[in-house]
Amino acid sequence: MEKKLFLGDEAIARGAVDAGLSGVYAYPGTPSTEITEYIQEYCKATGKKLHNRWCTNEKTAMEAALGMSFAGKRALVCMKHVGMNVAADPFINSSITGVNGGLVVLVADDPSMHSSQDEQDTRFYGKFALIPVLEPSSQQEAYDMMSYAYDLSESLKLPVLMRTVTRLAHSRGVVELKEARPENGLNPVGGSRDWVLLPAIAKRRYASLLERQPEIMRLAVESPFNSYTAEARRFEMGIIACGNTFNYVNECFPDGVPFPILKISQYPIPVETIRTLAEQCDSIMVFEDGQPFVEEQVKGVLASDCVIRGRLTGDLPRQGELNPDIVKTALGIPTLEHPDVAKNVVARPPALCQGCGHRSVYEAINIVLKDYEGAKVFGDIGCYTLGALPPFQALDSTVDMGASITMAKGASDAGVFPAVAIIGDSTFTHSGMTGLLDAVNENAPITVIISDNLTTGMTGGQDSAGTNKFEAICRGLGVSDEHLKVVVPLPQNMDEITRILREEIEYRGLSVIIPRRECIQTLKRHAKERAAQKEEKKA
């Protein structure tokens, strides 16, 4: 079959398509964004009509995917790890309703926080929901796992959680494709009230989920993606390697790993196999990216005095992703001879693009707020979070999607003045609208700046759900016309922007200012696309 050079994300996307997917539901988030983008491009190129439009947030995505599953078709929902916190309500309850068409929940974790505010480990969510979790170790495995995951989901009648990490999501490898399976036909759930989670029904459904746990464990022990290799003799040490950490261990031993090694790519942890490993070894070293999820559980299931080592014992760092050198050191293998770290190198942090509209917004904020001693600025998640760095250093907080408005309100309730919130357009529709309604209902004396660049910028310029709707949304929520202002964030408009900002801060009630100018990255891209279209027409 055909071979492709795929990012881990693209392998997942194509794996889902070839497994008979009918729709993907997602909100952009690094490192998961390229999954949905691949499916969008695939549909454009082939004319296939799979649902692929971006959703407003991860919760709406999760629910829509569950709806597609209810209707009997195969659905994929993708998000970054913190997106799972937003989707958690429908996610957890989807293990109680169960599924009809196969449902895979794909979560891309970001250990080392390359582009995130924490490094939470999604495997805990799988354990929480009592469903199978898959964790691929390579691009090929990621591709192969998708059809397995959909079959597993449909045979267990449960959602399957698939966890990947930045290193696999954003790394390319060669993938051999398989024959594609057709989509499921329309076949909605009927004649049952299993999906109506009234307490009486939910109790019965939860009991059924618990009854299936031994089966879910058996499937993990027998999984084609978990492997245990060992000679029949006693060893000083054994290894457990989860997901892509398996590669780092293999990299250390080009001629084969001289210890018993259990690779885990399907959870719950295969307890029987771990006991077998423990019987053969004096100690076990656990390699896993993220938190010590397996290490902690292994300690709990072993009665023997086998020593467990890993992130909790200090043999591996408690924080950050693993890499070949960390694994080498933990295994007592010397690092290769190498040049010293260079002297003339300094950090080069990311910055807002030259010409970006957010720059004018921060400049205005800094000009006006220097006249207010107690001013606090509550930021949000997106490119404009870079306003926290030099030259602007304009933010006092950044916590999660939407927290700018609600934290400004809480701080204002406590007496902070002025309290300014700055939030991007896509983040506002993701999780800012409900907080703005709270502020409207109390006419909170805060100034909310919705910095609208007509796109989801940080993740590469995806469509933003609220484009052209922001004034209507604000009015609909009850923001008064007199205190709803739109400006164009350009340096030549600085006098007007600062005047309006000052007036609205002085107004002791709720104001919304919308600086609006297209992201210069998407502006350039759109210009190129138009030029290319012209060329095509000429030809």
Stretch that binds other proteins, among 189-197, 241-249, 273-281, 293-301 (CB under 8 A): 241-249
Instruction: Draw the binding track, 254-293, toward other proteins (x: CB under 8 A; -: no contact).
Output: ----------------------------------------
With CB under 8 A as the rule, give the number of residues binding other proteins.
52
Cα 283 to its chain centre, rounded Å, is 34
Residue 225's CB: how many other CB atoms inside 10 A? 18
Structure tokens at 353: 């693009």
Cα distance between residue 47 and residue 464, in whole Å? 23
Looking only at the bridges linking them, the beta strands covering 160-165 and 103-109 are parallel
- Of 164, 244, 412, 451, the residue at the interface with other proteins (CB under 8 A) is 244
Q: How far is the CB of 125 from other proteins (least distance, A)?
A: 22
Between the CA of residue 423 and those of 64, 283, 322, 384, what are the distances in Å?
26, 50, 34, 8
Residue 355 sits in the site that holds other proteins (CB under 8 A): no
Nearer to other proteins, 139 or 406 (CB): 139
Choosing from 1, 45, 232, 342, the residue that interacts with other proteins (CB under 8 A) is 342
Burial class (CB in 10 A: 0-12, 13-18, 19+), 88: middle
Query: Angle 199-200-201 (CA atoms, 0-180°, nearest 5)?
Result: 90
Q: List the strands of the sheet with 261-264, edge to edge.
A: 227-229, 261-264, 235-242, 281-287, 307-309
Q: How far is the CB of 24 from other proteins (least distance, A)?
A: 19
- Indicate which single residue of 44, 49, 53, 114 sits in contact with other proteins (rule: CB under 8 A): 114
Among 255, 337, 373, 481, binds other proteins (CB under 8 A): 337
31: cis peptide before it, omega within 30°?
Answer: yes
Question: Of 154-173, which residues contact other proteins (CB under 8 A)?
Answer: 167-168, 170-173
| 236 three-class SS | strand
Binding of other proteins by 362 (CB under 8 A): no
Q: Could you say whether residue 112 binds other proteins (CB under 8 A)?
A: no
Shortest approach of other proteins to residue 433 CB, angstroms? Answer: 25
Number of C-alpha atoms within 13 angstroms, CB side, residue 333?
A: 16
The footprint of other proteins on residues 453-492 (CB under 8 A) is 458-460
Cβ at position 248, least distance to other proteins in Å: 5
Q: Which residues bind other proteins (CB under 8 A)?
A: 3, 5, 7, 30-31, 33-34, 114-115, 167-168, 170-174, 244, 247-248, 250-251, 323-325, 328, 335-353, 383, 386, 390, 458-460, 532, 535
